[in-house]
Amino acid sequence: MTTSEIEITADLVRDLLREQHPDLAGLAIREVAGGWGNQMWRLGDELAVRMQRMDPTPELQLKERRWLPVLAPRLPLPVPTPVRFGEPSTRFPKHWTVMTWVPGEPLDHGSISRGAHAADTLAGFLRALHVEAPAEAPISSDFGAHPKKCTDGFDHFFHSVVPDDLADDVRAVWDDAVAAPEWEGPPLWVHGDLHPANVVVSAGTLSGIVDFGALFAGDPAWDLAAAWVLLPAGTASRFFDTYAIADEAAIRRARGLAAMKSLFLMLMGQNGDRGLPGGKPNWGPAGRAALDRVLQDWYSSPSRP
């Protein structure tokens, strides 16, 4: 059995805690639904255990361990912060981390009813996050590139799931993003993977941001795509007004990236409907709704041909 096939159970989590952090081993342990690269277990009321599962290397967890304690104090929303480290052992030869629990419901299982508040909240969070990163900050090979360098991924999602009646418009959005100027500022801190499963909501608005495994220094457009991927219809313009520092080129790149992310969510939903590994049936409707928001914005865009 490979390490990726090890069944992660509550008993295993408790055994690991007894071995490495015995003072925490008496807390209640409950599995948290979702997660693919890492599996989450609720630990008591205020903590969670993040177990490396399908991720082939510990890089993403080690990145969170290194940088979240630096970023968290200046962010206006709760984010998970590492409090204990679990090291590979004979019992479980991968990394695991005890982190603070971010209360709320993942957006892919919840909804936003206070759109204006959520737009302002997301803009404020990203304004605080998007500051110049230090020279030693991570640079991503999977996220952060200009859209023109992501055409293979876009084409795969496009040909897999785009509705025929929307194909021309979705392609136009992407082509406009590819034609937009590149980011010319210094590398900024970027979450990189803002989608409905990586934010939590409560009382109808955003209440926390999770999963910083994709964190990198680079183009903030990768986060600005969340204006369409996360927020309700009609609130993107308010988001950008509140964020206030995105130029036209950044918005064009962000809109194209939002289209790509929407198609990815739709493909994950399709895979879930087919029962394929890693598929998420509830992501399909979320992706289609996000794509509709992208196109609604595109139809009124001054950059539209």
pLDDT, tens digit, 9 for 90 and up, residues 123-143: 999 999 999 999 999 987 778
Q: Which of 112-121, 243-252, 271-280 has the lowest mean pLDDT?
A: 271-280
Question: Which residues neighbour 156 within 8 Å (Cβ) at sequence distance 6 or greater?
Answer: none
Residue 229 burial by CB count (10 A; 0-12/13-18/19+): exposed, middle or buried?
A: buried
Name the H helices within 114-200: 115-129, 151-161, 167-179
Structure confidence at residue 131 (pLDDT): 98
Radius of gyration of the chain (CA): 19
Question: Which residues neighbour 153 within 8 Å (Cβ) at sequence distance 6 or greater?
Answer: 260
pTM (2 d.p.):
0.94
Neighbouring CB atoms inside 10 A of 2's CB total 6
Tokens standing for residue 189: 């801190």
Residue 23 burial by CB count (10 A; 0-12/13-18/19+): exposed, middle or buried?
A: exposed
Q: Which residue has the higher pLDDT, 96 or 38?
A: 96
Structure confidence at residue 36 (pLDDT): 62
Tens digit of each residue's pLDDT (9 = 90 or more) over 7-51? 889 999 999 999 999 999 999 999 987 666 688 999 999 999 999
Evaluate if residue 1 carries a pLDDT over 50: no
User: Strand 105-106 and strand 38-43: pairing?
Assistant: unpaired
Q: CA-CA distance, 6 to 10, in Å (whole number)?
A: 13
Q: CA-CA distance, 177 to 180, in Å (whole number)?
A: 5
Evaluate if residue 5 carries a pLDDT over 90: no
Terminal alpha carbon distance of the chain: 55
Structure confidence at residue 246 (pLDDT): 97
Tokens standing for residue 184: 């010319």
Evaluate if residue 144 carries a pLDDT over 90: no
Q: What is the DSSP letter of 65?
A: H
Evaluate if residue 54 carries a pLDDT over 80: no
Structure confidence at residue 101 (pLDDT): 97
What region, left, alpha or beta, does residue 200 occupy, with left being phi > 0 and alpha being psi -120 to 50 degrees?
A: beta
What does 200-263 look like in DSSP terms, one character per residue?
Answer: EEETTEEEEE---TT-EEE-THHHHTHHHHTSPTT-HHHHHHHH----HHHHHHHHHHHHHHHH
